[in-house]
Structure 1
Amino acid sequence: MITEFCRLNDAIERVSKVINIQLNIERVSLLNAIGRVAAKDVTSPCDIPPYDRSVVDGYAVRAEDTYGASPSNPLPLRIVGEANFDTAFRYSIGPGEAVRIHTGVPLPKGANAVIMLEDVVEDKSTIYVMKSVGVYANVSRRGEDMPKGFTILKRGQTIEPWHVAALAAVGLDEVEVFERLRLCLLTVGDEIVEPSKNLDPVEVLSKGKVFSSTHYLLLCEAKRLGFLEPVHIGIVGDSPHQISNHIRQAIEECHSVITTGGTGPGQRDVVVKAVKEVGSEVVVRGIAMRPGRTTSVAVLKGKPIFMLSGFPVAAYIAFRFFVIPSLTKALGITESRNYVYAKLTRRVVNRAGYTTFVRVKLFNCGTEVCAEPLASTGSGLISTLLESNGILKLPDDIEGYEAGELVPIELL
């Protein structure tokens, strides 16, 4: 029986403090690093770019030789050569001189600016400058992108494509990351059936059975996070003994366990009982969140056992807004999430002391982005995830939001 529901933030804090998971470090290629978690800080070993370089095709010049130039007052400069990657450092530009240069080529000695081709007129060995340029105009300075020592990755950061590009830019082809966190999923319920093309859905559902959709939802969501390695270990009935056996095995093989189903206060909701039988300590029994308030957590050997609702939306919300934040906080992982501010089309009301997650549909309304809260809110309605593209979080210390308010929406 759940007698008191823990506030969401308190639950995350409580669980993160008792998790004790040790992840090994491994080295992976850059193309296999997306979504993984950096095991240490990585800094640039050199300046990028390694020298002042032109960012346009044109002429390397001394900026002061162009001052006062205009179409009505063209200033002549003598062309003394053409710089490329092999010859750039051989040239030294003096007063009244210019060197042809291409994009990316190092700036010759003495030059401090580049004038674009379209701003000059060339006549044999002379150019006529039609426009003045300032010092370092059209020049990318040495170290402007990443100076030596620049932090590309911080320990605990999830690696994004731009991190990979930066690592490649400084000549690295591998990076040290933490091993993926192995996550075992166990589906609980006598009524649960594995989907199969060999089964008639009408016949199966008419017998009171339910196809296991929740574990597919969680597996797919977990796979989107590159630092997790989710595994479904099966469907088990409402037998405390069978559930206990599966959890014992899963704890030995995985860093964390998730069960779906059997978390409520009814007689057939036996997961909490089974979890206690394996010697684990229940640290959270019920969370003041909607949907997903029967979400509970136990810890065994420092490894968390997350007990989620069997309803797909409730399990999804608990996984996304409780399980993942608890794990990332405990392991020091920095996870990025995408938000957009949108104008609410109607009022939404919160329950006192609860954190509520509202499914919304985002759409353009004139020059603004609007968020329409879905009318259907059932925690078992998969269709609401199909119809929504964002989640509005109502913290436990507010009564709700009014129509017309700009609110942060987490994108799905």
Structure 2
Amino acid sequence: MTAPLPPFPMHVSVDEARTLLAALLPDRRTETLPLAQVAGRTLAGDLRALVSHPSATESALDGIAAREADTLGATPDAPARLRVIGESRAGAAFTGTVGAGECVRIYTGAPLPPGADAICPVEQLSDDGPDGVLLRRPASPGDVRHEGGDFRAGEVVMTAGLPLTAPRLALAAALGHPQVPVLAPLRVALLSTGDEVVPPGQPLTAGQVYDSNSVGLRAMLIEAGCEVVPLGHAPDSPEALQAAIDRAGGADALLTSGGVSMGRYDFMRDLLIEQGRVSFWKVRMRPGGPAILGGWNGLPVFGLPGNPVSSLVVFHVIVRPALTGQPPQTLRLRAATPFRALPDKTAFWRASIQDGRVSDYGQQGSGILRSLSEAGALVIVPEGRPVAAGDDVDVILL
């Protein structure tokens, strides 16, 4: 007789795991906050430019503004001479018009005066009397920044869903927005499990390990823009685990580490299967295959493996994209070394990047935690498709 099939999916793909997790998360609230309070948050609506940038045609350099035609043929041996009739600086534009044989001293960001169409940098100038200047090269229209060359008023410049990095916050300010709509952070409860897990700083006995998972996962949740609800640590006991889960009331989701594999004392798995709800168990990936997704009294629960590397890789590959709505940041690079494939799993091998090429880190065990700190990247090797040296591969930056 064949064993009965479980009442939930087993061995789902990475993409399926992301989709199923995202589907369990609650809809995100939107709030509007000042720019100073939204670093790292996700933009919840499109932003239009309220002004044009530059707001006027201006100089990209310190130098003089002139008519290009008056400076053609200027060389160090035969400089062109122009008469200086004024200056233009940011906040105090020249109000006259530049005519034939004339120029205006100008500074970076200052409006280009009427009549002028080119800039000669100060490094190519020398004074010639009280009102004259010599140009050792022609003035260049390429050093003029045209009005609206960056963006124009009314243009949609930023779209909803963008993470608000420092450059994007600066851009939002330049668009004229003092505050922006952002997604409210998800409240994610975090629970570490296992009899062998001990807080850092306490003495270890044989077989015990320090709790690195809760530290790393908390940092990754914060980086993903989440509010962390710390539940601490629970031993390998169904009663202790249930009591800890019950403390997660009010959270949008619960993230656990440990207790989800095939062992006798993997009680987190048992609780979800026997008393909760399971959306899937096990993902076709390495490291991190034993992950489980389910629910407990309406609370989405994602159980990560206890091995530190597995836990953090699953978060990076599945959990973070589901929380942020953004896929992992990938690059297409040339492999400097081969990467082996697995027949039935997508492999995420730790790798190092140097000179635009990616190399096998070497130690790929789930307990080699220092590898994630030193490697810097994960090479994606699809099921059954080994990568040879010289092949192009997709790489996730850590």
User: Shorter-chain TM-score: what band?
Assistant: 0.7 to 0.9
Greater Cα shift, 353-362 or 286-295: 353-362
Structure 1 gaps of 5+ residues are none
Deviation at 1:43, TM superposition (A): 2.1
Equivalent residue number for residue 351 of structure 2 = 360
2:288 paired with 1:297: no
Greater Cα shift, 231-240 or 314-323: 231-240
Instruction: Give a deviation string over 1:242-263, Cα, whole Å, max 9, x none.
Output: 323332441x321111111111
Q: Is the 8 A contact 1:59 1:114 kept in 2?
A: yes
Equivalent residue number for residue 132 of structure 2 = 126
1:287 & 1:157 partners in 2: Cα distance? Answer: 28
2:368 paired with 1:381: yes
* Equivalent of 1:393 in 356, 380, 386: 380
Greater Cα shift, 35-44 or 298-307: 298-307
Equivalent residue number for residue 24 of structure 1 = 29
Q: Trace 1:137-156 onto structure 2 (pairs within 5 A).
A: 137-156=142-161
1:120 & 1:315 partners in 2: Cα distance? Answer: 62
Equivalent residue number for residue 209 of structure 1 = 208
2:154 paired with 1:166: no
2:230 & 2:92 partners in 1: Cα distance? Answer: 61
CA distance 1:98–1:174, shift in 2 (3 Å)? same
* Equivalent of 1:200 in 197, 200, 203: 203
Equivalent residue number for residue 259 of structure 1 = 256
Instruction: Give a deviation string over 1:259-294, Cα, whole Å, max 9, x none.
Output: 11111233321213322455x431111111111111
2:267 paired with 1:270: yes
Equivalent residue number for residue 344 of structure 1 = 336
CA distance 1:108–1:294, shift in 2 (3 Å)? same
Deviation at 1:336, TM superposition (A): 6.3
Deviation at 1:106, TM superposition (A): 0.7
Instruction: Give a deviation string over 1:133-163, Cα, whole Å, max 9, x none.
Output: 35x3321111112222344432111111101
Q: Alpha carbon RMSD of aligned pairs, Å?
A: 2.7
Q: Is the 8 A contact 1:77 1:126 kept in 2?
A: yes
Q: Is the 8 A contact 1:23 1:178 kept in 2?
A: yes
Equivalent residue number for residue 107 of structure 1 = 112
Instruction: Give a deviation string over 1:187-232, Cα, whole Å, max 9, x none.
Output: 222333333x3x322xxx22x433322222211222233x112232
Deviation at 1:358, TM superposition (A): 0.8
Equivalent residue number for residue 313 of structure 2 = 317
Q: Is the 8 A contact 2:272 2:296 kept in 1?
A: no
Q: 3-state SS of the aligned residue for 2:142?
A: coil
Equivalent residue number for residue 243 of structure 2 = 245
CA distance 1:110–1:358, shift in 2 (3 Å)? same
| Identity value in percent | 28
CA distance 1:55–1:4, shift in 2 (3 Å)? closer
Q: Is the 8 A contact 2:90 2:108 kept in 1?
A: no
2:91 & 2:371 partners in 1: Cα distance? Answer: 62
Deviation at 1:71, TM superposition (A): 4.6
Deviation at 1:173, TM superposition (A): 3.7
2:178 paired with 1:191: no
CA distance 1:132–1:383, shift in 2 (3 Å)? closer
2:123 & 2:368 partners in 1: Cα distance? Answer: 62
Name the TM-score, length of structure 2 as normaliser: 0.88
* Equivalent of 2:326 in 304, 323, 334: 334
Deviation at 1:326, TM superposition (A): 2.7
Equivalent residue number for residue 83 of structure 2 = 78
Deviation at 1:184, TM superposition (A): 0.9
CA distance 1:86–1:40, shift in 2 (3 Å)? closer
CA distance 1:321–1:334, shift in 2 (3 Å)? closer
Give the letter for the 1:275 counterpart.
Answer: L
CA distance 1:22–1:300, shift in 2 (3 Å)? farther
2:388 & 2:345 partners in 1: Cα distance? Answer: 18
Deviation at 1:335, TM superposition (A): 5.6
Give the letter for the 2:245 counterpart.
Answer: I
Q: 3-state SS of the aligned residue for 2:261?
A: coil
Equivalent residue number for residue 303 of structure 2 = 307
Equivalent residue number for residue 14 of structure 2 = 8
Q: How many residues align?
A: 391
Q: 3-state SS of the aligned residue for 1:123?
A: coil
Deviation at 1:354, TM superposition (A): 0.7
Q: Is the 8 A contact 1:244 1:275 kept in 2?
A: no
* Equivalent of 2:69 in 50, 64, 75: 64
Greater Cα shift, 28-37 or 43-52: 28-37
CA distance 1:338–1:286, shift in 2 (3 Å)? closer
Q: Is the 8 A contact 1:21 1:302 kept in 2?
A: no
Instruction: Give a deviation string over 1:360-398, Cα, whole Å, max 9, x none.
Output: 23345xxx6441331x322123233344222111122x4
